[in-house]
């Protein structure tokens, strides 16, 4: 199999996706957790399908994500060639740009491939990753 290239690594990062709509938040100091267990995308190297569960957790300030628009946004990844790591970080970037939350975590738990299970978690504001035993990842819901 050929080597991975910069083209593979950058695939999907700047692709046009549906707009994330928002609505005005009415209450302070709470969190929203949304799970999407039907995430799919395409590996930019092999063209094989990838799937998993995406969990979005955030504390809204002035804006909340509108769920139908979020669903359409996430479904648009179905035919997009993008690596797991890039998909999760792209989602975080787009959600933060749309909502300007107090904080946000996007977590992708991907189905096994070649006997390996991968979980990718991206946070905003960006923080240093510390050992799992010192700072656990988001809890299961």
pLDDT tens digits, 14-39: 999 999 999 999 999 999 999 999 99
Q: Left (φ > 0), alpha (ψ -120 to 50) or beta: where does 16 sit?
A: beta
Query: How many Å apart are CA 88 and CA 54, to the nearest integer?
Result: 8
Q: Do 45 and 3 meet the contact criterion of CB atoms below 8 Å apart?
A: no
Handedness of CA 44, 6, 121, 68 (dihedral sign): negative
pLDDT at position 141 is: 45
Query: How many Å apart are CA 105 and CA 99, to the nearest integer?
Result: 13
pLDDT tens digits, 37-91: 999 999 999 999 999 999 999 999 999 999 999 999 999 999 999 999 999 999 9
DSSP bridge partners of 105: 57, 123
Report whether pLDDT(10) > 70.
yes
Residues acting as catalytic residues: 43, 50
pLDDT at position 89 is: 98
pLDDT at position 5 is: 87
- Which is higher by pLDDT, 1 or 125? 125
Distances (CA, A) of 108 to 1, 2, 3, 19, 135: 26, 27, 25, 20, 18
Report whether pLDDT(131) > 70.
no
Q: Which two tokens stand for residue 41?
A: 């995308």
pLDDT at position 140 is: 53
Q: Which of 22-26, 61-65, 103-107, 125-129 has the lowest mean pLDDT?
A: 125-129
pLDDT at position 114 is: 87
Q: Do 20 and 95 meet the contact criterion of CB atoms below 8 Å apart?
A: yes
Could you give all domains of the chain from N- to C-terminal order, each with its CATH number? 17-124 (3.30.1130.10)
Whether this model's pTM surpasses 0.85: yes
């Amino acid at each position: 199999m050929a080597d991975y290239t910069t083209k593979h690594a950058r695939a999907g990062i700047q692709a046009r996706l549906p707009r994330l709509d928002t609505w005005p938040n009415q209450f302070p100091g709470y969190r929203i957790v949304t799970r999407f267990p039907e995430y799919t995308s395409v590996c930019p190297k092999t063209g094989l399908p990838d799937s998993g569960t995406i969990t979005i957790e955030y504390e809204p300030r002035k804006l909340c994500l509108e769920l139908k628009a979020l669903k359409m946004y996430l479904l648009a990844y179905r035919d997009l060639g993008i690596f797991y790591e890039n998909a999760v970080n792209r989602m975080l970037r787009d959600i933060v740009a749309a909502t300007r939350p107090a904080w946000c975590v996007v977590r992708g738990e991907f189905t096994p491939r070649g006997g390996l299970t991968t979980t990718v978690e991206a946070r905003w504001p960006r923080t240093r990753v510390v050992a799992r035993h010192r700072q656990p990842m988001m809890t299961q819901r």
